[in-house]
Structure 1
Amino acid sequence: MSVDVITNTSPVIWLGRVLSGLAIAFLLLDAVMKLVPIQPVIDTMQALGFNSTTTLARGLGILLLGCTVLYAIPKTALVGALLLTGYLGGAIAIQLRAGNPLFSHILFGGYIGIFLWAGLLMRNNQARALLFP
């Protein structure tokens, strides 16, 4: 069965929107927590080995917010997904270097990445056509 036959159904498109929406909601929450650098954010950054400052937290928040907005806009969703994949890869590398648990910490960025890409491929015909010609 071809990719087009499977993904052009309305329930699949809606499932893609739900998956994308969940990923966007989590990433926006994470970005806002970094923009308003509350004490747990600062403490966590220090535990991960950063010389944590509010400037660094806000910079990461702005970066994450920008990438998430690009992902949320249909015309720039593919670029946003690529940028977010890089951001999440960095998060995975930091968790790995810190020696945190595999399934709850290290792979969490991978879980969000799966939601991002699955949602994008289910809801966006152009992204699907580009990746699966």
Structure 2
Amino acid sequence: MNFGTAAAGGRLWTARIMSWIVILFMLFDGIGKIAGLTSAVEGTLALGFTERHMAAMGILGLVSALLCAIPRTSFIGGLVLTAYLGGAVAAQIRVDAPLFTNILFPVYVAVLFWWAFWLRDERLRRLLS
């Protein structure tokens, strides 16, 4: 058995699972905003946004998730996702939300995505080493 290949396969599956956790979260969030799900609407309104912002925020979340899900556009999707989540951090700071649970949650999501990208993309590993 070639352990190098097994490690690479394990790394790839770990990266896929991590990426899909982020993608599914963003899909749920985007669809929830567009569909007007109570939890998504209440959470967004609590941050000071109005209901007219829901569709735009939902579409931006969905676009970032879809770009992340397509291998050829995953890097661009990660950049769009990171920008979107940066706005989420700013919104949480603006309402004086708790640091580790609310303010840093979007950072955790972005780190999970980029860690997964690093695990599956040799070019990024070479660039950062």
**TM-score category by the smaller chain?**
0.7 to 0.9
Alignment match, 1:119: 116
CA RMSD of aligned residues (A): 1.7
1:80 and 1:37 map into 2 onto residues whose CA distance is 24
Matching of residues 19-98 of structure 1 within 5 Å: 19-50=18-49, 52-53=50-51, 55-98=52-95
Other structure's SS at 1:49 match? coil
Contact 1:48–1:98 (CA under 8 A) maintained in structure 2: yes
Percent identity (aligned): 35
1:42 and 1:88 map into 2 onto residues whose CA distance is 17
Q: How many residues align?
A: 124
Larger relative contact order, structure 1 or 2 (CA cutoff 8 Å, min sep 6) = 1
**AA at the equivalent of 1:120:** F
Runs of 5+ in structure 2 lacking a partner? none
Of 88, 91, 106 in structure 2, the residue corresponding to residue 109 of structure 1 is 106
Normalised by the length of structure 1, the TM-score is 0.85
Alignment match, 1:17: 16
Shift of 1:59: 1.1
Runs of 4+ in 1 over 2 A off after TM superposition: 38-46, 124-129
**AA at the equivalent of 1:70:** L
**AA at the equivalent of 2:43:** T
1:78 and 1:28 map into 2 onto residues whose CA distance is 17
2:124 and 2:72 map into 1 onto residues whose CA distance is 10
2:125 and 2:117 map into 1 onto residues whose CA distance is 8
Contact 2:85–2:106 (CA under 8 A) maintained in structure 1: yes
Normalised by the length of structure 2, the TM-score is 0.87
